[in-house]
Structure 1
């Protein structure tokens, strides 16, 4: 899959050299079942026409640019751009086009957006979800796209994808994760919510208490569950290892840390992995974070958490 980054409209020379494509349009955060339906529809239309199947998405997230709540920070995502690229590549797309979302782009009228960013790509057919919008204030939609196309490309609006009578959406999945409902999020994603990061050195306090942990510094700004203790898989060199994961501020030792830490105690892996890039797959929440009166009380609770994790993973200790 070729990845192309567009920071501005194409020049006349760039337009001339482009092959015809069928284009799937959307932000595609999570690349969940609904998104996959849109992309696979585009692939099918491309095969009918013997042309390339392409996906157009945006970066950064529009809220990073338009919301005052995220000025100077990135909006948390289910799949930051490198992960989104990987998920889309797995679907068999020929080309991914990443358009820079900035205030200039957000101020374009729907017709200006189509004229500047769709038609120049040599699009012969555009596919998007039924609720896709474009142009300033989202005034353009799948009902207006045919008129803005001026007959130069066909369009397909993909109907909503539902689970249990409710639309599968990035917003719905995000809400489940932020509420600690990780099983529901996994059900809608068809996989555990996964974050990527590097194992870094910590203060080794866990090792001193008999619970060595891998401190994971995330690569990007992800949607994360609430502060607490979890069962998770930590993938190292392609292998998933069961773990008890603490995500929090360690209130027993600190009044407040500036940022919550992710610390994973692996149940069946005991090698030193500083500097390793790992994946962490959130599976289920065991409990919220608690401040204990003593280290001994914390260790007792950690033993309880570990036993709960053994039950969850159906591991017999010592085997």
Structure 2
């Protein structure tokens, strides 16, 4: 998949120098099953027309530009840009356009956006979700896109994709993760919510009390579940290793810890993995984080968490074999 980063409007003369494409439009955070329907629709139309299937997305997240709460800050995402690119490539997209989202872009009228970012890409057909919007204040939508196309391309709006009577959306998935309902989030994503990072050295407190952990420093600002203890897979060198993961402030030992840490106790893997890059797949929440009166009380609870996790993974393996 070829990736092109667009930082400014293009000119109409560039159109004929580019290969024709069917273009899927969207932010695609999570690349969930609703997004996949848009991508698959675009790919099917591209195959029928004998042209490339392309996607257009934006970076950074519009809220970092439009919301005062996130101005100058990283916005936590389900799939940060490099991960999104990998997901789209896995789906079979031939070409990806990444448009820089800034105040200049946000101030364009819907027609200006189409003239500067869609028409010059030699789009012959544009596909997006029914609720896709574009241009200043989101005034452009799938009902106006055909007129803004100036007769140069056709359009298709993909209808709402639902599960359990509710729209599948990045917002719904984000809320599920943040509330600790990982089963719901993973069902909507059609895969476990995954974060990427590097194993770094910690204070070795876990090793001292008989529960050595891998401290994972994340590569990107991800959407994360609430503070607590979880079952997770930690993928090391391409193999998923079952783990009990603590995400929190370690209040039993630390009163002033400012940032929560991710610590994974691997259940059946004991090699030295310091410095390795890993993927962590969040599976289910076992309990919230608790401050214990003593190290012995914490150890007792961790033993209980470990046995609960063993049962979870045993049942999970049995279900996968059915």
* SS of residue matched to 1:56: strand
What residue is the counterpart of 1:69 in the other structure? 69
Mapped pair 1:234 → 2:254: no
* SS of residue matched to 1:196: strand
What residue is the counterpart of 1:145 in the other structure? 145
- Preserved CA contact (<8 Å) 2:53 2:94: yes
- Preserved CA contact (<8 Å) 2:11 2:116: no
What residue is the counterpart of 1:264 in the other structure? 264
What residue is the counterpart of 1:314 in the other structure? 314
Measured on the aligned residues, the alpha-carbon RMSD in Å equals 1.0
Deviation of residue 56 (structure 1)?
A: 0.1
Deviation of residue 12 (structure 1)?
A: 5.8
Deviation of residue 14 (structure 1)?
A: 4.1
Cα distance in 1 for residues equivalent to 2:294 and 2:261: 20
Deviation of residue 257 (structure 1)?
A: 1.4
- 5+ residue gaps, structure 2: 316-322
Q: List per-residue Cα deviations over 1:169-207 (Å, max 9, x = no partner).
A: 111111100000001111111111000000000000000
What is the TM-score of this pair, normalised by structure 1?
0.97
What is the TM-score of this pair, normalised by structure 2?
0.96
Deviation of residue 168 (structure 1)?
A: 0.5
Mapped pair 1:303 → 2:303: yes
What residue is the counterpart of 2:28 in the other structure? 28
Q: How does 1:13-162 map to 2 (within 5 A)?
A: 14-162=14-162
* SS of residue matched to 2:256: coil
What residue is the counterpart of 1:204 in the other structure? 204
Cα distance in 2 for residues equivalent to 1:119 and 1:267: 54
Cα distance in 2 for residues equivalent to 1:10 and 1:140: 19
* SS of residue matched to 1:314: helix
Cα distance in 1 for residues equivalent to 2:62 and 2:279: 26
Deviation of residue 48 (structure 1)?
A: 1.1
What residue is the counterpart of 2:319 in the other structure? none
Q: List per-residue Cα deviations over 1:28-82 (Å, max 9, x = no partner).
A: 0000111000011001111111111100000000001111111221111000001
